[in-house]
Amino acid sequence: MIKVLEVRTASRNQMVDVTSRVKEVVSASGVREGLCVLYVPHTTAAVAINEGADPAVAEDILAQLARLAPPDGCYSHREGNADAHIKATIVGASRVVPVSGGRLMLGTWQAVFFCEFDGPRHRKLVVQVI
Ligand code: ZN
């Protein structure tokens, strides 16, 4: 089963918790044992798995990515979003989560985040359960 989730982001850099939406896709798929593939078909966005309980964690991740790729850095790419391309490459365009007993095998504190680096935009997150 494949489902494309629409994600509306509200700021230039943002980590949107999409865990509950991904869990719904897994439930609807009927797959008991398998894999959930998460894929972002964009060059300035990414998908990450990390702590969802304390919002300060996502804040720290975004702050450190901004230090690695500052928006006002000296870049060859002249569209003004080179920092976003670099952040998207560091975080990555896909993740795989095991599914067992019909459920995502996320740890207690883990959440799935759609990572926006050039928003606000209307984005897509591809979820395939196999
Ligand atoms: Zn660009």
pLDDT of the residue at 28: 98
Q: What is the pLDDT of residues 48-87, one digit of tens each?
A: 999 999 999 999 999 999 999 999 999 999 999 999 999 9
Ligand 1 centre distance from Cα of residue 99 (Å) = 35
Ligand 1 centre distance from Cα of residue 82 (Å) = 6
Virtual torsion, Cα 106, 41, 90, 50, nearest 10 deg: -20
Ligand 1 centre distance from Cα of residue 20 (Å) = 30
Q: What is the pLDDT of residues 7-62, one digit of tens each?
A: 999 999 999 999 999 999 999 999 999 999 999 999 999 999 999 999 999 999 99
Q: What is the pLDDT of residues 85-118, one digit of tens each?
A: 999 999 999 999 999 999 999 999 999 999 999 9
Taking the C-alpha atoms of residue 25 and residue 39, their distance in angstroms, rounded to an integer, is: 14
